[in-house]
Amino acid sequence: MERNAMLQRSSVHASSSPRTLRVGRAIAFVAVVAATACSTTAPDAAPAKAPPAGSPTSTHPDCGVCSTRVTYAYKTADDHVPSGQQVDQMKQVIEDRMSANHTAGRLTVDGSSIVLTVDQVDTALVDTLGRVPSMSIRPVAATVPASSSPSSASPTSVSPTGEAAIVDAKAVRQSRDPAVQRAALLELSCGSVDPLQGQDDFRLPLVTCATNGSDTYVLEPSAIDGIEIADAEATTSASGPVVDVIFTSAGTDRWAEVTASNLHKQVAFVIDSRVVAAPSIQEAQTASTTQISGVKFTDQSTAALARLLRNSGSELKLTSTATMTVSPTK
């Protein structure tokens, strides 16, 4: 996938051919990791690249090298059983994360649950893989392009982990103080694991990286929640490949306000605390469908971006994660 194509010199404008909202809108999702790899696996299995050397392997005194089976259970935000479409979209999200993290395994759907079976897994990835993704649209306050981004040198001190790391990251990268934001932008390391992955507060500013690992941004508080995106689809216009983004009724009204007040400025589409696209607004818009275009867009990159946007705005919630060790099969 050409990730940079999503971020360089892209623009957003009203669609020349308004579309009809699909019946049974593409579900909404609420929080996780920025997975930008596009999977082309069969619906009932998600084989991914072989894990790199040194990846941890599940072991057990009774069976030596064992497999790990993880069951992710989901419900809708109002505690109802999710539809098959919602579960399938969440399965696609997990497939993408497995591919991005070079995790080999198999995914199956069991009712409202998704079962992951892997021979080799980093236990730290277990929760991340099944977490519901978060998505927001944030106006861009400042950006540092890849050519002038600070180097991602390894820190010399030991960094906190877990909840402590999230608290520390929010204090620095979600401060309302411009001076703190500037300092955070200069110190941001895009090559390291982001403790805020999907944990950023939509009500606060955010200093973060793009999924290309180079561009960095200071973003304003969220203007539109990802659940207001009803659908997204890759298509072709007279100028080339584009992504049609279709908003809900409430999202359409809010998008009209955002485009009117940010004309010729960038807005960032943020998934799991990372910027996947930051187009410039070319005109105020009132239609439910908008288009994202870019000079480096290809059919592949627009398909990947549309899939990300379609799958990452959700009203699902992860209700439980059950992990068990199983003996190897013959």
The full DSSP string for 198-263 is TT--TTS-EEEEBTTSS-EEEEPSPSEEGGGEEEEEEEEETTEEEEEEEE-HHHHHHHHHHHHHTT
Average pLDDT over residues 1-15: 53
Q: 156-169 b/e with 16+ CB inside 10 Å = b?
A: eeeeeeeeebbeeb
> Which positions ≥6 away from 229 have C-beta within 8 Å?
28, 135, 245, 246, 247, 248, 251, 309, 310, 313
Total domains in the chain come to 1
Specify if 278 maps to a domain: yes
Specify if 169 maps to a domain: no
pLDDT in tens, 195-232: 898 899 999 999 999 998 889 999 999 999 999 999 99
pLDDT band at 63 (very low <50, low <70, confident <90, very high): low
pTM recorded for the entire structure:
0.74
Environment class of 42 (CB within 10 Å of its CB; exposed 0-12, middle 13-18, buried 19+) = exposed
Counting residues of the chain whose pLDDT is more than 70, the rounded percentage is 75
Predicted confidence at residue 177, as pLDDT, reads: 97
Average pLDDT, the chain: 79
Specify if 90 maps to a domain: yes
Specify if 215 maps to a domain: no
Out of 37-41, 62-66, 85-89, 105-109, which region has the weakest mean confidence (pLDDT)? Answer: 37-41
Supply the range of the domain harboring residue 254. 3-135+223-326
Specify if 111 maps to a domain: yes
Specify if 142 maps to a domain: no
> Which positions ≥6 away from 193 have C-beta within 8 Å?
none
Predicted confidence at residue 14, as pLDDT, reads: 65
115: closest CA among 11, 203, 194, 44?
44
- Which DSSP helix (H) or strand (E) runs through 126? helix 125-130
